[in-house]
Structure 1
Amino acid sequence: MRYQAQVRLKGFPPQNATFNRKTDAKRWIQQTEAAIREGRHFKTTESKRRTLAKLIDRYLRDVLPTKPKGMNAQGRQLTWWKKELGCRSLADVTPSLLAETRDKLHQGRQPATVVRYMAALSHAFTVAVNEWEWLEDNPMRKVRKPKEPRGRVRFLGDDERHSLLSACKASDCKQPYPVVVLALSTGMRQSEIMGLKRNDIDLKRGYITLHETKNGERRAVPLVGHAKQLIQQLAKVRRLDTDLLFFSEAKPSAPIFIRSPWGKALREAGIEDFKFHDLRHTAASRTKRDNQPRLYTLADNI
Protein backbone atom coordinates (compact mmCIF):
# COMPACT_ATOMS: atom_id res chain seq x y z
CA MET A 1 0.00 0.00 0.00
CA ARG A 2 1.21 3.52 -0.90
CA TYR A 3 0.00 6.91 0.35
CA GLN A 4 -0.20 9.91 -1.95
CA ALA A 5 0.17 13.26 -0.17
CA GLN A 6 -0.67 16.64 -1.65
CA VAL A 7 -0.36 20.18 -0.30
CA ARG A 8 -2.44 22.92 -1.93
CA LEU A 9 -2.10 26.48 -0.63
CA LYS A 10 -3.57 29.51 -2.35
CA GLY A 11 -0.96 31.42 -4.33
CA PHE A 12 1.50 28.51 -4.49
CA PRO A 13 1.86 25.58 -6.89
CA PRO A 14 0.62 22.22 -5.50
CA GLN A 15 3.21 19.90 -3.98
CA ASN A 16 3.00 16.10 -4.22
CA ALA A 17 4.84 13.17 -2.66
CA THR A 18 4.34 9.42 -2.15
CA PHE A 19 5.03 7.47 1.06
CA ASN A 20 4.89 3.91 2.30
CA ARG A 21 3.47 4.92 5.67
CA LYS A 22 0.53 7.16 6.46
CA THR A 23 2.36 8.78 9.40
CA ASP A 24 5.21 9.81 7.09
CA ALA A 25 2.74 11.34 4.65
CA LYS A 26 1.05 13.35 7.42
CA ARG A 27 4.40 14.54 8.78
CA TRP A 28 5.48 15.63 5.29
CA ILE A 29 2.24 17.58 4.81
CA GLN A 30 2.72 19.43 8.10
CA GLN A 31 6.37 20.24 7.43
CA THR A 32 5.74 21.29 3.83
CA GLU A 33 2.83 23.57 4.76
CA ALA A 34 4.94 25.23 7.46
CA ALA A 35 7.92 25.64 5.13
CA ILE A 36 5.77 27.18 2.38
CA ARG A 37 4.16 29.66 4.77
CA GLU A 38 7.60 30.65 6.10
CA GLY A 39 9.10 30.97 2.61
CA ARG A 40 11.55 28.08 3.03
CA HIS A 41 10.13 25.29 0.92
CA PHE A 42 10.88 26.39 -2.61
CA LYS A 43 14.41 27.48 -1.76
CA THR A 44 15.06 24.02 -0.38
CA THR A 45 13.58 22.47 -3.50
CA GLU A 46 15.78 24.64 -5.73
CA SER A 47 18.89 23.77 -3.75
CA LYS A 48 18.18 20.05 -4.25
CA ARG A 49 17.39 20.48 -7.92
CA ARG A 50 20.31 22.76 -8.84
CA THR A 51 24.00 21.89 -8.83
CA LEU A 52 26.91 24.12 -7.96
CA ALA A 53 27.99 23.93 -11.59
CA LYS A 54 24.68 25.50 -12.68
CA LEU A 55 25.07 28.25 -10.10
CA ILE A 56 28.61 29.05 -11.27
CA ASP A 57 27.62 28.93 -14.95
CA ARG A 58 24.79 31.40 -14.39
CA TYR A 59 27.04 33.67 -12.34
CA LEU A 60 29.73 33.63 -15.03
CA ARG A 61 27.13 34.43 -17.67
CA ASP A 62 24.98 37.04 -15.92
CA VAL A 63 26.97 38.61 -13.09
CA LEU A 64 30.69 38.47 -13.84
CA PRO A 65 30.48 40.55 -17.06
CA THR A 66 29.30 43.45 -14.87
CA LYS A 67 32.63 43.25 -12.99
CA PRO A 68 35.20 43.77 -15.78
CA LYS A 69 38.13 44.40 -13.44
CA GLY A 70 37.84 41.03 -11.76
CA MET A 71 36.55 39.08 -14.73
CA ASN A 72 39.67 37.07 -15.53
CA ALA A 73 40.77 36.31 -11.96
CA GLN A 74 37.32 35.49 -10.59
CA GLY A 75 36.44 33.47 -13.66
CA ARG A 76 39.52 31.33 -13.09
CA GLN A 77 38.75 30.97 -9.38
CA LEU A 78 35.12 29.95 -9.94
CA THR A 79 36.15 27.47 -12.62
CA TRP A 80 38.37 25.78 -10.04
CA TRP A 81 35.43 25.43 -7.64
CA LYS A 82 33.27 24.09 -10.45
CA LYS A 83 35.86 21.45 -11.27
CA GLU A 84 36.10 20.35 -7.63
CA LEU A 85 32.44 20.50 -6.52
CA GLY A 86 30.37 21.26 -9.62
CA CYS A 87 28.56 17.92 -9.66
CA ARG A 88 27.21 18.38 -6.11
CA SER A 89 23.69 19.68 -5.56
CA LEU A 90 23.54 22.99 -3.72
CA ALA A 91 21.87 21.22 -0.80
CA ASP A 92 24.95 19.01 -0.47
CA VAL A 93 27.46 21.88 -0.53
CA THR A 94 27.76 22.23 3.22
CA PRO A 95 30.23 24.30 5.27
CA SER A 96 32.09 21.13 6.21
CA LEU A 97 32.51 20.16 2.54
CA LEU A 98 33.68 23.68 1.69
CA ALA A 99 36.15 23.59 4.58
CA GLU A 100 37.54 20.29 3.32
CA THR A 101 37.92 21.74 -0.19
CA ARG A 102 39.48 24.89 1.25
CA ASP A 103 42.22 22.77 2.82
CA LYS A 104 42.87 21.17 -0.56
CA LEU A 105 43.02 24.62 -2.13
CA HIS A 106 45.53 25.70 0.53
CA GLN A 107 48.10 23.17 -0.69
CA GLY A 108 50.69 25.08 -2.68
CA ARG A 109 48.86 28.43 -2.41
CA GLN A 110 49.35 31.42 -0.16
CA PRO A 111 46.64 32.29 2.42
CA ALA A 112 45.80 35.50 0.54
CA THR A 113 45.15 33.51 -2.63
CA VAL A 114 42.89 31.08 -0.78
CA VAL A 115 40.91 33.99 0.68
CA ARG A 116 40.31 35.39 -2.82
CA TYR A 117 39.11 32.01 -4.12
CA MET A 118 36.70 31.76 -1.19
CA ALA A 119 35.49 35.33 -1.68
CA ALA A 120 34.68 34.68 -5.34
CA LEU A 121 32.49 31.68 -4.52
CA SER A 122 30.97 33.42 -1.51
CA HIS A 123 29.70 36.27 -3.68
CA ALA A 124 28.19 33.78 -6.11
CA PHE A 125 26.35 32.14 -3.19
CA THR A 126 25.16 35.54 -1.96
CA VAL A 127 23.65 36.37 -5.34
CA ALA A 128 21.98 32.95 -5.45
CA VAL A 129 20.46 33.60 -2.00
CA ASN A 130 19.30 37.19 -2.50
CA GLU A 131 18.39 37.38 -6.17
CA TRP A 132 17.77 33.87 -7.48
CA GLU A 133 16.36 32.30 -4.29
CA TRP A 134 18.19 29.07 -4.92
CA LEU A 135 19.46 28.87 -1.34
CA GLU A 136 18.34 29.89 2.13
CA ASP A 137 21.81 30.88 3.30
CA ASN A 138 25.37 31.27 2.07
CA PRO A 139 27.27 28.17 3.29
CA MET A 140 30.63 29.90 2.80
CA ARG A 141 29.67 32.35 5.55
CA LYS A 142 30.36 29.65 8.14
CA VAL A 143 33.75 28.61 6.73
CA ARG A 144 36.82 30.04 8.44
CA LYS A 145 39.22 31.94 6.19
CA PRO A 146 42.97 31.29 6.56
CA LYS A 147 44.80 34.02 8.40
CA GLU A 148 46.75 36.25 6.07
CA PRO A 149 50.24 37.36 7.10
CA ARG A 150 50.84 41.02 7.69
CA GLY A 151 51.41 42.86 4.46
CA ARG A 152 54.78 44.25 3.51
CA VAL A 153 55.24 47.89 4.54
CA ARG A 154 58.09 49.92 3.07
CA PHE A 155 58.31 53.68 2.87
CA LEU A 156 60.96 56.26 2.02
CA GLY A 157 62.96 58.18 4.57
CA ASP A 158 63.57 61.88 3.95
CA ASP A 159 67.01 61.31 2.39
CA GLU A 160 65.71 58.51 0.17
CA ARG A 161 62.78 60.64 -0.93
CA HIS A 162 65.02 63.53 -1.98
CA SER A 163 67.43 61.15 -3.75
CA LEU A 164 64.61 59.50 -5.67
CA LEU A 165 63.07 62.81 -6.74
CA SER A 166 66.48 64.08 -7.87
CA ALA A 167 67.07 60.92 -9.91
CA CYS A 168 63.62 61.19 -11.50
CA LYS A 169 64.19 64.84 -12.34
CA ALA A 170 67.51 64.04 -13.97
CA SER A 171 66.02 61.23 -16.06
CA ASP A 172 66.00 61.49 -19.87
CA CYS A 173 62.29 60.68 -19.69
CA LYS A 174 60.54 63.74 -18.28
CA GLN A 175 57.26 62.17 -17.19
CA PRO A 176 58.38 59.98 -14.23
CA TYR A 177 59.20 63.04 -12.12
CA PRO A 178 55.67 64.53 -12.10
CA VAL A 179 54.26 61.00 -11.76
CA VAL A 180 56.28 60.34 -8.59
CA VAL A 181 55.55 63.81 -7.18
CA LEU A 182 51.84 63.24 -7.75
CA ALA A 183 52.00 59.83 -6.05
CA LEU A 184 53.81 61.27 -3.03
CA SER A 185 51.47 64.24 -2.83
CA THR A 186 48.14 62.46 -3.19
CA GLY A 187 48.74 58.80 -2.34
CA MET A 188 47.14 57.84 -5.67
CA ARG A 189 47.77 54.38 -7.10
CA GLN A 190 49.89 53.92 -10.21
CA SER A 191 46.91 52.80 -12.31
CA GLU A 192 44.93 55.86 -11.19
CA ILE A 193 47.75 58.22 -12.18
CA MET A 194 48.43 56.50 -15.50
CA GLY A 195 44.74 56.67 -16.40
CA LEU A 196 44.42 60.41 -15.72
CA LYS A 197 42.87 62.47 -18.51
CA ARG A 198 42.99 66.22 -18.86
CA ASN A 199 39.27 66.52 -18.24
CA ASP A 200 39.75 64.79 -14.86
CA ILE A 201 41.77 67.74 -13.55
CA ASP A 202 40.22 70.96 -12.33
CA LEU A 203 43.17 73.33 -11.89
CA LYS A 204 40.96 76.24 -10.91
CA ARG A 205 39.44 74.43 -7.94
CA GLY A 206 42.51 72.29 -7.30
CA TYR A 207 40.92 68.85 -7.59
CA ILE A 208 41.45 65.62 -9.47
CA THR A 209 38.40 63.44 -10.11
CA LEU A 210 39.13 59.71 -10.21
CA HIS A 211 36.48 57.80 -12.15
CA GLU A 212 38.18 54.38 -12.13
CA THR A 213 39.24 53.36 -8.61
CA LYS A 214 40.01 50.03 -7.00
CA ASN A 215 36.65 49.83 -5.20
CA GLY A 216 34.75 51.12 -8.21
CA GLU A 217 33.66 54.37 -6.56
CA ARG A 218 34.38 57.83 -7.92
CA ARG A 219 36.37 60.12 -5.64
CA ALA A 220 37.93 63.59 -5.66
CA VAL A 221 41.57 64.17 -4.71
CA PRO A 222 42.88 67.65 -3.76
CA LEU A 223 45.70 68.94 -5.96
CA VAL A 224 47.92 71.59 -4.36
CA GLY A 225 51.50 72.78 -3.98
CA HIS A 226 54.33 71.53 -6.17
CA ALA A 227 52.20 68.76 -7.66
CA LYS A 228 49.71 71.33 -8.93
CA GLN A 229 52.50 73.42 -10.44
CA LEU A 230 53.82 70.42 -12.38
CA ILE A 231 50.36 69.53 -13.67
CA GLN A 232 49.85 73.15 -14.79
CA GLN A 233 53.08 72.94 -16.79
CA LEU A 234 51.97 69.67 -18.42
CA ALA A 235 48.60 71.18 -19.25
CA LYS A 236 50.23 73.93 -21.32
CA VAL A 237 51.30 71.40 -23.96
CA ARG A 238 48.22 69.68 -25.31
CA ARG A 239 48.26 66.99 -27.96
CA LEU A 240 45.26 66.51 -30.17
CA ASP A 241 45.74 62.74 -30.57
CA THR A 242 45.32 61.87 -26.86
CA ASP A 243 43.42 62.93 -23.74
CA LEU A 244 45.88 61.22 -21.42
CA LEU A 245 48.01 63.34 -19.14
CA PHE A 246 50.87 60.83 -19.07
CA PHE A 247 50.99 59.31 -22.53
CA SER A 248 53.44 57.16 -24.46
CA GLU A 249 55.38 58.98 -27.16
CA ALA A 250 55.32 55.86 -29.33
CA LYS A 251 51.57 55.34 -28.88
CA PRO A 252 49.86 58.47 -27.50
CA SER A 253 46.55 56.69 -26.97
CA ALA A 254 48.24 54.47 -24.33
CA PRO A 255 49.72 55.58 -20.98
CA ILE A 256 53.46 55.82 -20.58
CA PHE A 257 55.27 52.66 -19.49
CA ILE A 258 57.51 53.91 -16.68
CA ARG A 259 58.96 50.59 -15.54
CA SER A 260 62.34 51.19 -17.17
CA PRO A 261 62.89 54.85 -16.09
CA TRP A 262 61.45 54.05 -12.65
CA GLY A 263 63.89 51.19 -12.16
CA LYS A 264 66.78 53.33 -13.39
CA ALA A 265 65.87 56.13 -10.98
CA LEU A 266 65.79 53.68 -8.05
CA ARG A 267 69.23 52.35 -8.97
CA GLU A 268 70.73 55.82 -9.34
CA ALA A 269 69.20 56.88 -6.02
CA GLY A 270 70.62 53.76 -4.35
CA ILE A 271 67.19 52.65 -3.12
CA GLU A 272 66.57 48.91 -2.70
CA ASP A 273 63.50 46.81 -1.98
CA PHE A 274 61.08 49.53 -3.07
CA LYS A 275 58.03 49.34 -5.35
CA PHE A 276 55.88 52.05 -6.87
CA HIS A 277 53.00 51.14 -4.55
CA ASP A 278 55.29 51.92 -1.62
CA LEU A 279 54.99 55.61 -2.55
CA ARG A 280 51.45 55.25 -1.22
CA HIS A 281 52.84 53.95 2.08
CA THR A 282 55.27 56.88 2.14
CA ALA A 283 52.42 59.35 1.73
CA ALA A 284 50.50 57.70 4.58
CA SER A 285 53.55 57.55 6.88
CA ARG A 286 54.25 61.27 6.48
CA THR A 287 50.64 62.09 7.24
CA LYS A 288 50.81 60.10 10.48
CA ARG A 289 54.13 61.66 11.44
CA ASP A 290 53.08 65.25 10.73
CA ASN A 291 49.59 64.71 12.16
CA GLN A 292 48.19 66.90 9.40
CA PRO A 293 46.13 66.23 6.28
CA ARG A 294 48.38 64.38 3.87
CA LEU A 295 47.31 66.06 0.65
CA TYR A 296 48.30 69.56 1.79
CA THR A 297 51.31 68.74 3.96
CA LEU A 298 53.11 66.58 1.41
CA ALA A 299 52.40 68.71 -1.61
CA ASP A 300 53.86 71.77 0.08
CA ASN A 301 56.94 70.01 1.41
CA ILE A 302 58.10 67.86 -1.53
Structure 2
Amino acid sequence: MPVLDKKSFEKAPVWDFDDVYNQDAPPRPAMCAQSLRNSKDEFFMKAFLPNVRLFLHKDSINMSEWNRLSHFNNPFGFMEYKYEDVTPVLKLIPKPKEPLLSPKPGSNGCVRCAVVGTGGILNGSKMGAEIDAHDYVFRMNGAITQGYEEDVGNRTSVYVHTAHSITTSLYLLKKYGYQAAPHDEGIKYVMIPEGQRDYNWLNGLLKGEKITKGPYRNKEPRKFYSGQFNETRFYVLHQDFLRYVKNRFLKSKSLNRRYWAIFRPTNGAFAIFLALQTCDTVVRVRIHDQGLHEILQLLC
Protein backbone atom coordinates (compact mmCIF):
# COMPACT_ATOMS: atom_id res chain seq x y z
CA MET A 1 0.00 0.00 0.00
CA PRO A 2 1.19 3.60 -0.52
CA VAL A 3 2.83 5.39 2.40
CA LEU A 4 0.27 7.53 4.25
CA ASP A 5 1.21 11.06 5.31
CA LYS A 6 0.01 12.54 8.61
CA LYS A 7 -0.33 15.93 6.92
CA SER A 8 -3.10 14.50 4.75
CA PHE A 9 -5.41 14.33 7.77
CA GLU A 10 -6.82 17.37 9.57
CA LYS A 11 -7.69 15.17 12.53
CA ALA A 12 -6.90 11.61 13.58
CA PRO A 13 -8.31 9.25 10.94
CA VAL A 14 -10.70 6.57 12.16
CA TRP A 15 -10.67 3.24 10.34
CA ASP A 16 -13.11 0.33 10.47
CA PHE A 17 -10.38 -1.67 12.22
CA ASP A 18 -9.29 1.12 14.56
CA ASP A 19 -10.44 -0.81 17.65
CA VAL A 20 -9.23 -4.24 16.48
CA TYR A 21 -6.18 -5.66 18.24
CA ASN A 22 -4.06 -8.78 18.09
CA GLN A 23 -4.56 -11.01 21.11
CA ASP A 24 -2.45 -13.81 22.55
CA ALA A 25 -3.08 -16.82 24.73
CA PRO A 26 -3.16 -15.99 28.47
CA PRO A 27 0.45 -15.83 29.75
CA ARG A 28 -0.45 -17.69 32.95
CA PRO A 29 -3.50 -19.29 34.59
CA ALA A 30 -5.84 -16.91 36.44
CA MET A 31 -5.52 -18.04 40.06
CA CYS A 32 -5.78 -14.83 42.07
CA ALA A 33 -9.18 -14.07 43.60
CA GLN A 34 -8.22 -10.39 44.07
CA SER A 35 -7.15 -9.96 40.45
CA LEU A 36 -8.14 -6.87 38.49
CA ARG A 37 -9.52 -9.35 35.97
CA ASN A 38 -12.32 -9.93 38.47
CA SER A 39 -13.10 -6.22 38.82
CA LYS A 40 -16.74 -5.26 39.34
CA ASP A 41 -16.27 -1.93 37.57
CA GLU A 42 -18.39 -2.02 34.40
CA PHE A 43 -16.43 0.64 32.50
CA PHE A 44 -13.12 -1.08 33.10
CA MET A 45 -14.34 -4.57 32.28
CA LYS A 46 -16.00 -3.40 29.06
CA ALA A 47 -12.78 -1.73 27.90
CA PHE A 48 -10.29 -4.24 29.30
CA LEU A 49 -8.82 -6.89 26.98
CA PRO A 50 -6.93 -9.32 29.24
CA ASN A 51 -5.08 -10.95 26.34
CA VAL A 52 -4.27 -7.97 24.11
CA ARG A 53 -0.87 -8.43 22.51
CA LEU A 54 1.68 -6.63 24.65
CA PHE A 55 4.99 -7.14 22.90
CA LEU A 56 6.43 -6.65 19.44
CA HIS A 57 8.89 -9.25 18.14
CA LYS A 58 10.42 -10.59 14.94
CA ASP A 59 7.57 -13.02 14.24
CA SER A 60 4.75 -10.53 14.75
CA ILE A 61 5.21 -8.44 11.59
CA ASN A 62 4.52 -9.57 8.02
CA MET A 63 3.35 -7.55 5.03
CA SER A 64 -0.31 -7.84 5.99
CA GLU A 65 0.40 -6.62 9.53
CA TRP A 66 2.63 -3.86 8.22
CA ASN A 67 -0.13 -2.61 5.95
CA ARG A 68 -2.65 -2.66 8.80
CA LEU A 69 -0.39 -0.81 11.21
CA SER A 70 0.65 1.68 8.53
CA HIS A 71 -2.77 3.31 8.95
CA PHE A 72 -1.77 4.56 12.42
CA ASN A 73 0.74 7.26 13.32
CA ASN A 74 3.66 6.60 15.61
CA PRO A 75 3.87 5.24 18.26
CA PHE A 76 0.62 3.43 17.40
CA GLY A 77 1.74 2.21 14.00
CA PHE A 78 4.02 2.84 11.02
CA MET A 79 2.36 5.75 9.17
CA GLU A 80 4.95 7.64 7.04
CA TYR A 81 7.51 4.85 7.46
CA LYS A 82 8.88 2.63 4.71
CA TYR A 83 8.74 -1.13 5.08
CA GLU A 84 12.34 -1.57 3.96
CA ASP A 85 13.61 0.98 6.50
CA VAL A 86 11.96 -0.44 9.61
CA THR A 87 11.40 -4.18 9.18
CA PRO A 88 15.13 -5.11 9.28
CA VAL A 89 15.13 -3.73 12.83
CA LEU A 90 11.88 -5.46 13.76
CA LYS A 91 13.39 -8.77 12.67
CA LEU A 92 16.08 -8.33 15.34
CA ILE A 93 13.62 -8.16 18.24
CA PRO A 94 13.60 -11.52 20.05
CA LYS A 95 10.33 -13.25 20.82
CA PRO A 96 9.77 -13.34 24.60
CA LYS A 97 10.35 -16.80 26.00
CA GLU A 98 8.51 -16.19 29.26
CA PRO A 99 5.83 -13.86 30.68
CA LEU A 100 6.99 -10.47 31.86
CA LEU A 101 5.96 -11.40 35.43
CA SER A 102 5.17 -14.59 37.33
CA PRO A 103 3.72 -15.15 40.81
CA LYS A 104 6.26 -15.28 43.62
CA PRO A 105 6.42 -18.39 45.86
CA GLY A 106 3.81 -18.21 48.62
CA SER A 107 1.78 -15.51 46.86
CA ASN A 108 -1.38 -17.62 46.35
CA GLY A 109 -1.00 -17.07 42.63
CA CYS A 110 -1.30 -13.27 42.93
CA VAL A 111 1.17 -10.85 41.35
CA ARG A 112 1.33 -7.63 43.42
CA CYS A 113 2.87 -4.56 41.78
CA ALA A 114 3.72 -0.95 42.52
CA VAL A 115 4.17 1.67 39.81
CA VAL A 116 6.34 4.61 40.82
CA GLY A 117 6.33 7.92 38.95
CA THR A 118 9.21 10.35 38.58
CA GLY A 119 7.63 13.77 39.09
CA GLY A 120 8.55 14.16 42.76
CA ILE A 121 4.97 13.55 43.86
CA LEU A 122 6.15 10.98 46.43
CA ASN A 123 8.65 13.35 48.01
CA GLY A 124 8.08 13.24 51.77
CA SER A 125 5.58 10.39 51.51
CA LYS A 126 7.63 7.84 53.50
CA MET A 127 6.20 5.15 51.17
CA GLY A 128 9.53 3.51 50.30
CA ALA A 129 9.13 0.40 52.46
CA GLU A 130 5.54 -0.10 51.27
CA ILE A 131 6.61 0.17 47.63
CA ASP A 132 9.51 -2.24 48.03
CA ALA A 133 7.24 -4.78 49.76
CA HIS A 134 5.43 -5.49 46.48
CA ASP A 135 6.40 -8.45 44.32
CA TYR A 136 7.41 -6.18 41.46
CA VAL A 137 8.15 -2.47 41.18
CA PHE A 138 7.70 -0.59 37.89
CA ARG A 139 9.58 2.63 37.21
CA MET A 140 10.06 4.77 34.14
CA ASN A 141 12.11 7.61 32.63
CA GLY A 142 14.46 9.27 35.15
CA ALA A 143 13.84 6.82 37.97
CA ILE A 144 15.75 8.41 40.85
CA THR A 145 16.04 6.27 43.97
CA GLN A 146 19.46 7.02 45.49
CA GLY A 147 19.02 9.42 48.37
CA TYR A 148 15.22 9.14 48.24
CA GLU A 149 14.78 5.52 49.29
CA GLU A 150 12.59 6.39 52.29
CA ASP A 151 9.99 7.92 49.96
CA VAL A 152 10.27 5.91 46.72
CA GLY A 153 12.01 2.66 47.69
CA ASN A 154 15.09 1.28 46.00
CA ARG A 155 13.90 -1.75 44.03
CA THR A 156 13.20 -1.74 40.30
CA SER A 157 11.86 -4.88 38.65
CA VAL A 158 10.60 -3.38 35.38
CA TYR A 159 11.94 -0.20 33.77
CA VAL A 160 9.83 1.39 30.99
CA HIS A 161 11.54 3.86 28.66
CA THR A 162 12.08 5.34 25.23
CA ALA A 163 15.42 6.14 23.64
CA HIS A 164 14.73 9.79 24.46
CA SER A 165 13.94 9.23 28.13
CA ILE A 166 16.87 6.93 28.89
CA THR A 167 19.33 9.40 27.35
CA THR A 168 17.98 12.82 28.33
CA SER A 169 17.24 11.85 31.94
CA LEU A 170 20.98 11.59 32.53
CA TYR A 171 21.59 15.31 32.11
CA LEU A 172 18.17 16.66 33.07
CA LEU A 173 18.31 14.95 36.47
CA LYS A 174 22.05 15.03 37.08
CA LYS A 175 21.62 17.76 39.71
CA TYR A 176 19.48 15.34 41.74
CA GLY A 177 22.18 12.69 41.73
CA TYR A 178 20.80 10.61 38.86
CA GLN A 179 23.67 8.72 37.23
CA ALA A 180 22.15 5.83 35.30
CA ALA A 181 18.92 4.07 34.43
CA PRO A 182 17.90 1.39 36.96
CA HIS A 183 20.10 -1.69 36.65
CA ASP A 184 19.06 -4.06 39.43
CA GLU A 185 20.21 -7.64 39.01
CA GLY A 186 17.69 -9.44 36.79
CA ILE A 187 15.78 -6.26 35.88
CA LYS A 188 13.45 -6.38 32.88
CA TYR A 189 13.59 -3.53 30.40
CA VAL A 190 10.51 -2.49 28.41
CA MET A 191 10.88 -0.08 25.51
CA ILE A 192 8.19 2.08 23.92
CA PRO A 193 8.93 2.35 20.16
CA GLU A 194 8.08 6.03 19.95
CA GLY A 195 9.49 6.82 16.50
CA GLN A 196 12.31 6.35 14.01
CA ARG A 197 14.97 7.31 16.55
CA ASP A 198 13.82 4.36 18.69
CA TYR A 199 14.23 1.95 15.79
CA ASN A 200 17.75 3.33 15.26
CA TRP A 201 18.33 2.76 18.98
CA LEU A 202 17.00 -0.80 18.79
CA ASN A 203 19.24 -1.56 15.82
CA GLY A 204 22.35 -0.53 17.74
CA LEU A 205 21.19 -2.09 21.00
CA LEU A 206 20.31 -5.50 19.61
CA LYS A 207 23.43 -5.69 17.43
CA GLY A 208 25.69 -4.41 20.19
CA GLU A 209 26.95 -1.64 17.92
CA LYS A 210 27.16 2.13 17.73
CA ILE A 211 24.18 3.87 16.16
CA THR A 212 25.03 4.95 12.62
CA LYS A 213 22.38 7.61 11.91
CA GLY A 214 19.84 9.92 13.47
CA PRO A 215 20.03 12.02 16.66
CA TYR A 216 21.87 9.28 18.60
CA ARG A 217 24.56 8.73 15.97
CA ASN A 218 27.75 7.26 17.48
CA LYS A 219 26.08 6.45 20.80
CA GLU A 220 26.41 2.88 22.10
CA PRO A 221 22.99 1.95 23.49
CA ARG A 222 24.18 -0.96 25.63
CA LYS A 223 26.23 1.41 27.78
CA PHE A 224 23.00 3.00 29.03
CA TYR A 225 21.90 -0.26 30.70
CA SER A 226 24.95 -0.55 33.00
CA GLY A 227 25.71 -4.16 32.11
CA GLN A 228 22.17 -5.45 32.73
CA PHE A 229 20.96 -5.59 29.12
CA ASN A 230 20.01 -9.14 28.21
CA GLU A 231 17.84 -10.10 25.24
CA THR A 232 15.89 -12.56 27.39
CA ARG A 233 14.85 -9.71 29.69
CA PHE A 234 14.20 -7.06 27.05
CA TYR A 235 10.71 -6.32 25.71
CA VAL A 236 9.32 -3.88 23.14
CA LEU A 237 5.70 -2.76 23.48
CA HIS A 238 3.44 -3.63 20.55
CA GLN A 239 1.67 -0.86 18.65
CA ASP A 240 -1.67 -2.59 19.27
CA PHE A 241 -1.18 -2.32 23.03
CA LEU A 242 -0.26 1.36 22.79
CA ARG A 243 -3.30 2.07 20.62
CA TYR A 244 -5.57 0.05 22.93
CA VAL A 245 -4.53 2.23 25.88
CA LYS A 246 -5.18 5.40 23.89
CA ASN A 247 -8.48 4.29 22.35
CA ARG A 248 -10.14 2.56 25.26
CA PHE A 249 -8.89 4.41 28.32
CA LEU A 250 -7.24 7.73 27.46
CA LYS A 251 -9.07 9.09 24.43
CA SER A 252 -8.29 12.77 23.99
CA LYS A 253 -10.25 15.59 22.36
CA SER A 254 -6.91 16.62 20.85
CA LEU A 255 -7.33 13.81 18.33
CA ASN A 256 -10.01 15.90 16.61
CA ARG A 257 -7.74 18.89 16.19
CA ARG A 258 -5.09 19.97 13.73
CA TYR A 259 -2.17 18.79 15.84
CA TRP A 260 -3.70 15.37 16.54
CA ALA A 261 -0.54 13.50 15.62
CA ILE A 262 1.51 14.82 18.55
CA PHE A 263 -0.87 13.47 21.20
CA ARG A 264 -0.07 10.25 22.99
CA PRO A 265 -0.39 8.97 26.56
CA THR A 266 2.71 9.50 28.68
CA ASN A 267 5.37 6.89 29.36
CA GLY A 268 3.98 6.71 32.89
CA ALA A 269 0.49 5.97 31.60
CA PHE A 270 1.79 3.18 29.38
CA ALA A 271 3.74 1.78 32.34
CA ILE A 272 0.63 1.76 34.53
CA PHE A 273 -1.48 -0.01 31.92
CA LEU A 274 1.30 -2.53 31.35
CA ALA A 275 1.11 -3.23 35.08
CA LEU A 276 -2.69 -3.51 34.91
CA GLN A 277 -2.29 -6.10 32.14
CA THR A 278 0.45 -8.17 33.81
CA CYS A 279 -0.24 -7.84 37.55
CA ASP A 280 -3.22 -8.90 39.65
CA THR A 281 -3.10 -5.93 42.00
CA VAL A 282 -1.48 -2.54 41.46
CA VAL A 283 -0.72 -0.14 44.31
CA ARG A 284 -2.70 3.10 44.25
CA VAL A 285 -0.53 5.81 42.71
CA ARG A 286 -0.86 9.57 42.91
CA ILE A 287 -0.64 10.94 39.41
CA HIS A 288 -1.36 14.24 37.65
CA ASP A 289 -3.31 12.78 34.69
CA GLN A 290 -6.95 13.22 35.75
CA GLY A 291 -8.41 10.58 33.42
CA LEU A 292 -5.88 8.02 34.53
CA HIS A 293 -6.36 9.02 38.17
CA GLU A 294 -10.09 8.34 37.91
CA ILE A 295 -9.51 4.87 36.48
CA LEU A 296 -7.06 4.03 39.23
CA GLN A 297 -9.46 5.31 41.88
CA LEU A 298 -11.94 2.70 40.68
CA LEU A 299 -9.49 -0.17 40.50
CA CYS A 300 -6.75 0.21 43.07
> Normalising by structure 1, what TM-score?
0.21
More RCO (CA 8 Å, sep 6+): 2
> Normalising by structure 2, what TM-score?
0.21
Q: Which structure has the bigger radius of gyration?
A: 1
Greater fraction of residues in helix = 1
